[in-house]
Amino acid sequence: MTENATTTTSKEPIKASEFDPKFKYELIKMHGGEKLLKCYQCGTCTSDCPIARYSDDYRPRTILRMANLGLKDRVLKSNTLWLCAACYTCTDRCPQDVEVASVIRVLRNLAAENGCVPQVFKDQASCILESGYAYKIPDLRIKKRETTGLPPLPKGNPESIRKILKGVSFMKHVEGSKGETNEQQ
């Protein structure tokens, strides 16, 4: 996915220089990350996470611990971060109300900000810019609606979408938007 990608369970010894003691304060200022510091590492999130059940690496509790410790690069460059299914089970069950899924989303947003963006998100964003829809809906399907008695598919308004997304920092990753960059495929 990205160069130098890691997993959050990497066994590489942690060097003192890897800790960023201010990282957690950066996170709690972000919408959704506010309650990170309340995590007391009980493990409810991991034990109820459907992804952790099948992944050897993905552990929401570990991700939260690493975030609290300030292991910024390890977390943000980790491939495992992208495994979360956003099912919100952890958010509903965390006894500390940490809003775990939102903290993970905040981390992913930061990873994206730093250039780690899985291709699928770039593709969906450019589809939205082009048509309003997150997928390229084939013409055949649009035509078929008529024969199956469905009303015509409402047309998107790409011009309006472009206007309202002006100045959004993620746009630098989106093909077809102004200031297009192609870093980090």
CB-based contact 128:176 (threshold 8 Å): no
Exposed e or buried b per residue across 17-34, where buried means at least 16 C-beta atoms within 10 angstroms of its C-beta: eeeeeebbeebbebebbb
- Using CB under 6 A as the binding rule, the residues of this chain from 40 to 59 that contact ligand SF4 are 40-45, 49-51
Q: Which of 67, 71, 94, 129 binds ligand SF4 (CB under 6 A)?
A: 94
CA distance 148 to 155: 19
Q: Which of 27, 71, 98, 101 binds another protein (CB under 8 A)?
A: 101
Does the footprint of another protein cover residue 178 (CB under 8 A)?
no
- Using CB under 8 A as the binding rule, the residues of this chain from 148 to 177 that contact another protein are 148-151, 153-157, 159-161, 163-171, 173
Contact window for another protein (CB under 8 A) among 9-17, 70-78, 125-133, 176-184: 125-133
Radius of gyration, alpha carbons of the chain: 19
Smaller CB separation from ligand SF4, 1 or 37: 37
Smaller CB separation from ligand SF4, 56 or 159: 56
Size of the site for ligand SF4 (CB under 6 A): 26
Residue type, 147: T
What CA–CA distances, in Å, run from 84 to 7, 54, 103, 144, 173? 13, 12, 11, 35, 21
CA distance 182 to 178: 12
CB-based contact 115:184 (threshold 8 Å): yes
Contact pattern for ligand SF4 over residues 148 through 177, marking x by CB under 6 A: ------------------------------
CB of residue 58 vs ligand SF4: minimum separation in angstroms? 7
Backbone angles phi, psi at 12, to 5 degrees: -55, 130
- Using CB under 8 A as the binding rule, the residues of this chain from 49 to 78 that contact another protein are 50-51, 53-55
Which spans of this chain sit near ligand SF4 (rule: CB under 6 A)?
Answer: 39-45, 49-51, 60-61, 64, 84-90, 94, 96, 98, 100-101, 104
